[in-house]
Amino acid sequence: MRLIIAIVKGSDASGLLDALAERHIGVTRLAATGGFMSEGRTTFLIGVEDDREDEVIDIIRKCCSKHLQASPQFRPAGELVPSVAVPVEYEAGGAIIFVTDVEDLMRL
């Protein structure tokens, strides 16, 4: 058995949950906040058989793609120069995935 812990952007969570449910993969969903820009995050706890690990990771990869996003960065005002908002691009989205062995999985 494997435990897959996936931390994804909050806006990707519903699509990922639907894709996992379509393939009859059980999941526990936890809301969280943190990371760069304090964006909403969702943590998924997914217990699967060893032979389904790659399938789950592929689903996560398809539902949680990375993309460039812009955010304003303010330059401080000087004596003669007003404050200016300059857009800064950063990579957003994607997922952080941890995979660990599990000795036993019980559903009660």
Domains of the chain, by residue range, sit at 2-66+93-101
pLDDT in tens, 26-57: 999 998 776 555 667 899 999 999 999 999 99
pTM for this predicted structure = 0.73
CATH code given to domain 2-66+93-101: 3.30.70.120
Q: Which residue has the tokens 């990869």?
A: 61
Identify the band that residue 93 occupies on the pLDDT scale cut at 50, 70 and 90: low
d(CA 73, CA 43): 28
Taking 80 as the threshold, does the pLDDT of residue 67 lie above it? Answer: no
Task: Please tell me what DSSP assigns to residue 57.
Answer: H
d(CA 99, CA 97): 7
